[in-house]
Amino acid sequence: MDTEISGIVCMFVATLVISFPLGRYIAKVYEGQRTLLDPVFNPVEKFLYRISGIHISREMNWKQQMAAMLTINMIWFLLGMFILMNQSWLPLNPDHNPGQSPDLAFNTAISFITNCNLQDYSGETGVSYLSQLYLMFLHFASAATGMAAAAAVFNGLKSSTTDKLGNFYNYFIKSITRILLPVSFIIAILFVFNGMPMTFLGKDTLTSLQGAIMHISRGPVAGYVAIKHLGTNGGGFFNANSAHPFENPDYFTNMVEMIAQMIIPFAMVFALGFYLKRKKLAYVIFAVMTLGFLLLVIPNISMETKGNPAIAAMGINTSAGNMEGKEVRFGAAASGYWSIATTVISTGSVNSMHDSFMPLSGMNMMLAMMVNCFYGGVGVGFLNFFVFIILAVFIGGLMVGRTPEFLGKKIEAREMKIALIVALLHPFLILTGTALASYIYVQDPSAYAAWLNNPGFHGFSEMLYQYASTTANNGSSFAGLGATTPWWNISTGFVLLFSRYLPIIGPVAIAGSLAAKKYTPESAGTLKPDTATFGLMTFAVIFIITALSFFPSLALGPIAEYFTFH
């Protein structure tokens, strides 16, 4: 067990060590400074700008930024729907997988453009190689969308007074060419040399030791999995996701995947400090996020390594921990660490089945998605945290009797209204969706029996988890929920739209509003955001809003299930 804990510590430390210089590099990219990759990618970017008619010198206000984002996302959604519904006759389909139904294609296309990657299909049989390649493109595009939005907010927080937040297309393309693509290439090479398939051939046929003929799915897995984690996307090439031996062959690849999904969320916080030249502010934000992460991950590791008391009561040895739904090559501790990292960061990939975790472990995963701002997804994690900063600044300003200010800009009614709408939208979507699904189920349980393999407290948890995952753009699930139905495909599809774009538009609108205001230098009476006191206040705001919003629903699900053990 000590070895397993040492592996977890090494993963976290390695992530931190890599993300700090990566954050400095990201800040240079967005500032337009010279980097080592300029000779390689300058010609590529100039070619893309020329053929697309993009003039990067034309800066955009926040409305133009968001119009550009929504326009290109709509185009990708329509193209995705076409490919998924017609993949049966399109090329690169050696296994002859059928086209998806309209409701499933609707859900899948929206899920991948919103960086959620909720998969109501099996990767082996549900999509062709062409569809997988298009979904791989959306891995890049959705991650770059969040990063470009974060770059716009960074611009809005500068001390200058302007209504311009940079050029969305410039940030979007540079996020791909300068950050996501080169790092993904390195990760993919590591995966290939450690046994991941990278081929366009169809299923392989082999004979088992018992003489049975088996058909083994394969494909361009290594490249897909690299950006799946680096972009905090999480959609698996195979149905079992990173529990599948072709997606995660050994403990080394498990470490690489774990580090890959965390480095950009870490780095974006440090990039803020370098970009604004306020490193101390970045350290405070990172400390608050890390505190929240540790309060969730340490209990999960502890509960999963102790094992299931119900199984222990049967006289079965549980010294290896709660191993139901987990891979022996990773162990209970590494699986417990992954379960919180993937939900805190909104990756949504799994190296074990979350449905088989202990009840309170499942609750902590849901809390990670309900909070949705401890590190978070690439770009959008900071945007979510930024909303809580605005709320904390306003409350702190009232407490000290001064006009609330953040980085020299006054926080007034407009900014507070937007922040409150974004903050309350998250619990509204989760709880409303769960309430409607629960109501439909209890009206006629026999008609909707396929929804829940585990009725009762755990069945409620499965539905609550699904909407928490959808709203947090996460994509993981309690697999006991039968979500491949029109209700789940359509309802979660609309939740995805609202939960992805409004929480991006809101912070960018706030940043645009602040950027246009006159800068006021800090004075002795200014509430400084780069102090431990302000960090604790921000954490308290996050805790109070989350507790008030979600405790009743958690009490009906995982907490009630926990007490059935005793």
What distance separates the 2 farthest-apart alpha carbons in the chain? 80
For residue 405, pLDDT beyond 90:
no
Confidence band for 519, pLDDT divided at 50, 70 and 90 = confident
* Residue type present at position 116: C
Q: How far apart (Å, rounded) are the C-alpha atoms in residues 39 and 27?
A: 18
Mean pLDDT (whole number) for 209-233:
91
Count how many domains the chain has: 1
* Residue type present at position 252: F
Asked if 266 contacts 19 with a C-beta cutoff of 8 angstroms, the reply is yes
Cα-Cα end-to-end distance for the chain: 26
Please write the tens of the pLDDT for every residue from 422-457: 999 999 999 999 999 999 999 988 888 889 888 889
For residue 201, pLDDT beyond 90:
no
211 token code pair: 């003489």
For residue 230, pLDDT beyond 70:
yes
Q: How far apart (Å, rounded) are the C-alpha atoms in residues 265 and 277?
A: 19
Taking each continuous run of H as one helix and of E as one strand, the counts in the chain are 20, 4
Asked if 419 contacts 384 with a C-beta cutoff of 8 angstroms, the reply is no
Q: What angle do CA 26, 142, 223 make, to 5 degrees?
A: 80
| Positive or negative torsion for Cα 107, 110, 265, 375 | negative
Q: How far apart (Å, rounded) are the C-alpha atoms in residues 531 and 501?
A: 31
Q: Is residue 245 classed as helix, strand or coil in its secondary structure?
A: coil
Bigger pLDDT: 281 or 216?
A: 281
Asked if 477 contacts 483 with a C-beta cutoff of 8 angstroms, the reply is yes
Q: How far apart (Å, rounded) are the C-alpha atoms in residues 168 and 160?
A: 19
Contacts of 385 (CB under 8 A, 6+ apart): 285, 288, 289, 373, 376, 538
pTM for the model stands at 0.95
Please give the pLDDT value at position 449.
Answer: 83
Asked if 244 contacts 233 with a C-beta cutoff of 8 angstroms, the reply is no
Asked if 480 contacts 453 with a C-beta cutoff of 8 angstroms, the reply is yes
Asked if 329 contacts 338 with a C-beta cutoff of 8 angstroms, the reply is no
Q: How far apart (Å, rounded) are the C-alpha atoms in residues 526 and 129?
A: 57
Domain that holds residue 458: 2-564
525 token code pair: 């009476």
Confidence band for 529, pLDDT divided at 50, 70 and 90 = confident
Q: How far apart (Å, rounded) are the C-alpha atoms in residues 175 and 184?
A: 12
Phi (first) and psi of residue 210, to 5 degrees = -85, -5
Confidence band for 525, pLDDT divided at 50, 70 and 90 = low
Please give the pLDDT value at position 205.
Answer: 87
Mean pLDDT (whole number) for 85-96:
94
Q: Is residue 161 classed as helix, strand or coil in its secondary structure?
A: coil
- Cβ-based burial of 142 (10 A; exposed 0-12, middle 13-18, buried ≥19): buried
Mean pLDDT (whole number) for 291-307:
96
Please give the pLDDT value at position 309.
Answer: 87
For residue 524, pLDDT beyond 70:
no
For the chain, what is the mean pLDDT? 93
- Cβ-based burial of 564 (10 A; exposed 0-12, middle 13-18, buried ≥19): exposed
* Residue type present at position 179: I
Give 208-231 as a DSSP string: -TTS-EEEE---BHHHHHHHHHHT
Q: How far apart (Å, rounded) are the C-alpha atoms in residues 509 and 415?
A: 8
Contacts of 257 (CB under 8 A, 6+ apart): 225, 229, 242, 248, 349, 351
Q: What secondary structure letter does DSSP report for 488?
A: H
Please write the tens of the pLDDT for every residue from 116-154: 999 989 888 899 999 999 999 999 999 999 999 999 999
- Cβ-based burial of 520 (10 A; exposed 0-12, middle 13-18, buried ≥19): middle
Bridge-based pairing of strands 204-207 and 213-216 is antiparallel
Q: How far apart (Å, rounded) are the C-alpha atoms in residues 397 and 420?
A: 16
Contacts of 552 (CB under 8 A, 6+ apart): none
Half-sphere exposure of 475 (CA within 13 A, CB side): 35
Q: How far apart (Å, rounded) are the C-alpha atoms in residues 473 and 233?
A: 9
Q: How far apart (Å, rounded) are the C-alpha atoms in residues 267 and 179?
A: 11
Q: Is residue 448 classed as helix, strand or coil in its secondary structure?
A: coil
Asked if 387 contacts 394 with a C-beta cutoff of 8 angstroms, the reply is no
Q: Residue length, the chain?
A: 566
Please give the pLDDT value at position 1.
Answer: 63
Contacts of 426 (CB under 8 A, 6+ apart): 370, 372, 471, 472, 499, 503, 549
Report the percentage of the chain scoring pLDDT > 70: 99
